Structures are given as structure tokens and as C-alpha cells.
Structure 1
Amino acid sequence: MQSIPTKYFEYGIEELEYLKSVDPTLGAAMTRLGKVERVIIPDLFTALIHAIVGQLISVKAVHTIWTRMQEQLGEISPQNIASRSADGIQACGMTMKKALCIQRIAHTIAEGAFNLDELHRLSDVEVIKKLMTLHGVGKWTAEMMLINSMERRDIVSWGDIAIRRGMMKLYGLSEISKEQFEEYRLRYSPLGSIASIYLWNLSFE
């Protein structure tokens, strides 16, 4: 099985101190948890497929399917995935709808109809807009790409259930409105992604 290159999201003392200063409640949780490492996948295509696999399923299920894909399909590249049948992709443990979506995106990128590298030159809003032109890619998937591949600094995803759950736990809320969420998101800015890393961690405690 080919090893996929990964690294940790880069942040340090300066970012932590800033977030602690704007939100003492989050700051206290950060102090208690210490440095939380977030694994990212720098390769944009691999990260995109990983994000699609992760749509609406648990972290554990993602790990199982992702391992199986690497074992059964080999290299997670546009050319290789485009050459696989939808049945072969589905056999890794996902729905046929998701398998067809992955196959179609691989074809689009392999044929040069969509240039992933161009995303690096775009703003966060533009990256989301461009990725959402791909079949099966919604805002959540695009936001996961911004954090988990591109290391953009200010992403807090309303569409991510775990982030919302982490916020509710942190502030002792039984539910959270979009307005409350936006208030916290703006408070964390311009370092929302680092806040998100801690909110994910809190949601699984």
C-alpha cells in the first residue's frame, strides 16, 4: 500500500496566545488540551477524494474505507482513479452515488477540464465557489479542503456537525443558532482554522 504524504497543520504560540486573548473560554480549553496536532494531506486531489469519502460518515468509517481504497485501488491519483470502475470504487465500502462522484471528478481532473493547482492562487471564497462547480462537492467538502489540505487560516465550518458540537460543549449550550455560531466565528478570525482544530478535539471528548 502506497504511503500518502501528510504533515501537521502549522501553528504555534503566537496563534494560541491570540485566540486565548479574544476568547478566554476557548483559551482555557487550549491550555488544558495542550498542542493539538491536525494531520493534513498537501496533495489537493488526494485531499479532495478523502473529503468526499468523509461526507456524512464517522471518522472511524472514513479510516476503514480510505485504507481499503489504498489497498484495492492503489495510487490515489486522477489517472488511476479515473481508470477504475464505479463498482470497484464502491467495493471499498461507500455508496454507489459517492463512487460515481469520485470517478467523475477523477475523469474531469485527469482530462484537464479542472485545474486543482489554480486553487492556490484564489481567495477562500473563490476556492469554495470553484470547487462547488465539481459534481458532488458542496460547501462543507470545499471548507475541509481549505483546512485539511491548503492550510488556510480562517475556516470555521457551520456544515461540520463536530465543530458545532465542540462549540456547544465549550460554551455549555444545548443548541446553537447560526447567529451564535457566526458570533464565535468572527471572534476567532483571522485564526478560525486553529480554533476549529480545538473544537473538533473537544467534540470527541
Structure 2
Amino acid sequence: MADWQTAERRLLRDKTLRPLIQRVGPCTMEVLPREPYEALVQAIAHQQVHARAAEAILGRFAALYPHDSFPPPRFVLDLPPEALRGCGFSGSKVAAIRDIAEKTVGGLVPSLEEAAAIDDETLIRRLVAIRGVGQWTVEMMLMFTLGRTDILPVDDFGVRDGWKLLTGAETQLKPKELAAIGEAWKPWRSVAAWYLWRASDEGKKRKAAEAATEPRPAAKRVRRPTA
């Protein structure tokens, strides 16, 4: 497990991040080691649906396998596509999950042990070749499955929103602009991203609180016609 306290001390040197880190407190980013194959399938399930819906779909998917473990790739490839559609996966997600399974059997998707010896950029280049898997998906796997400490997902809305709110900017930075700023956060850019997500969460809470306290317009009285 990475030493988040070392990361916090390093990031406290950044005058923009410092107040945020002091407000939020210690980084509590959780890493859940699991096979990259499983992480990618779960990521596909969560794309463009609510988390609860995704978990329900994954529950039905897991129930297809008669053993108490995540359905392995060869089992998935033996399933008819209709079985996956019956779990709630869209046609495009079925195609993506089958491609992940094929690429795992073929060796493109490494095991957890193999992935530990592969650098971030190489893993990104390898895995974005899979149908339905983009750079953001691989970055999330690198951070939350492999525990990589130096990932800055500059295409993530929340990360860019957090920086916008911290700096009081009118618009979000372009990904390349934020990437250039993030160079100063190496080798702890994953932790910086985690704090930027917290800044975005703060902004959402402020908006919700402001909306709750705004006075509602008075209801217009309707003059009823007299008899």
C-alpha cells in the first residue's frame, strides 16, 4: 500500500492544493487489488448507468457462474451473447466484455501479478486497444486496482472541475493545460486527483445548500370569477 502521508506532505507545498488538503484531511483513497480482467469488466458495467443499476447487472452476471468467484474469461466466451444481454448489458457492452475476455485469454490483458511489472504508459497503450476501453477506464484501474500513485486523469470532469473551483476560474482548463500543471505533483498525481475530486464534491454540496436556501417565488393568487 502506498504511503499517502508522504504524498500529502509533498502536495502541501502546492499553495493551491494546501488549503484543500488541510480542510479535507488525510487521503483515504482505497485500493482494491483484483485481476485487471475483472476490473475492466466492472468498469464496462458501470459506464453510463447509475451505480446501483450497474451493481444489479453485475449481480445477475455473477449468478451465471456456478462457483463463488467472478466469472472467468473462458466461461464468458462460452456463454451465448443472449445470456449477457439477459443480465442487462447493452449490445455494445456485451461486445466489449467478450473482447476483454478474448484479450485476457490471448494474453493482452495481464494478470494482477504480471501487471505489477508493467509501467503505466505501457498498460494504457495495451489496454485501450480493447473494445469499449478508453484511457480513463485504464487510468481508474491503475489507480484503484493496481494502486499506482502517479496517475492524473486529466479527461475526468471531476478532476478538472475541482481545479476550476480551487482557482476560481470561469472555465475548466483543457486536459493538456492541467497535465502541464500536474507535472509539479509527481510522483503523487493520483493523490492530487483524489483531492481534486474532493474539491468537486465540495462544490456540489455548496450548490445544493444554496439551492435549498433560495427563497421560492410566491405562488400567484388566482382571482376566481364571481357569480
TM-score by length of 1: 0.80
Identity %: 27
The 5 A counterparts of 1:22-33 are 23-33=14-24
Q: Does residue 95 of structure 1 match 2:90? A: yes
Q: How many residues align?
A: 195
**CA deviations over 1:6-65 (Å, ceiling 9, x no partner):** xxx6333211010011x1221211121122423333122211212223334455554454
Q: Which residue of 2 aligns with 1:145?
A: 141
Structure 2 CA distance for aligned equivalents of residues 59 and 166 of structure 1: 22
Query: How far 1:167 moved relative to its partner?
Result: 1.8
Cα separation, 1, equivalents of 2:17 and 2:159: 13
* Higher-Rg member (1/2): 2
The correspondence for 2:10, drawn from 18, 26, 37, is 18
Corresponding residue to 2:25 among 23, 26, 34: 34
Distance 1:106 1:168, change over 3 A: same
Contact 1:41 1:149 in 2 (8 A): yes
Q: Of 121, 124, 135, which residue of structure 2 is paired with 1:125?
A: 121
CA contact (8 A) 1:162 1:200 kept: yes
Q: Give yes or no for the alignment of 1:166 onto 2:166.
A: no
**2:99 aligned with 1:104, yes or no?**
yes
Contact 1:147 1:155 in 2 (8 A): yes
Partners of 2:2 and 2:149 within 8 A in 1: no
Tell me the secondary structure at the aligned position of residue 3 of structure 2.
coil
Q: Do the aligned partners of 1:165 and 1:203 also contact (CA within 8 Å) in 2?
A: yes
Q: Which moved more, 1:88-97 or 1:71-80?
A: 71-80
Is 1:45 the counterpart of 2:40 in the alignment? no
Deviates more, 1:138-147 or 1:115-124: 115-124
Distance 1:11 1:132, change over 3 A: same
Looking at structure 2, the residues matched to 149 and 178 of structure 1 have their Cα atoms a distance apart, in angstroms, of 23
**1:59 to 1:195, Cα distance in 2 relative to 1, 3 A:** farther
Q: Secondary structure at the match of 1:24?
A: coil
Residue 193 (1) aligns with residue 190 (2): yes
Partner of 1:81: 76
Task: Answer with 46-55 or 66-75: which moved more.
Answer: 66-75
Letter in 2 for 1:77: P
Could you tell me how far apart the structure 2 residues matched to 1:145 and 1:78 are? 18
Distance between the aligned counterparts of 2:17 and 2:56, measured in 1? 32
| Long gaps (5+) in structure 2 | 203-227
- Return the offset for 1:128: 0.7
> How far is 1:71 from its partner?
4.6
Instruction: With the length of structure 2 as denominator, give the TM-score of the two structures.
Output: 0.74
Distance 1:19 1:63, change over 3 A: farther
User: Residues of 2 paired with 1:151 and 1:193: CA distance?
Assistant: 9
- For 2:175 and 2:28, the matched residues in 1 are separated by 27
Match of residue 179 from structure 2: 182
Q: State the shift of 1:94 in Å.
A: 3.6
- Unaligned residue ranges in structure 1 (runs of 5+): 1-8
What is the root-mean-square deviation of aligned Cα atoms in Å?
2.5
In 1, Cα distance between equivalents of 2:102 and 2:12: 45
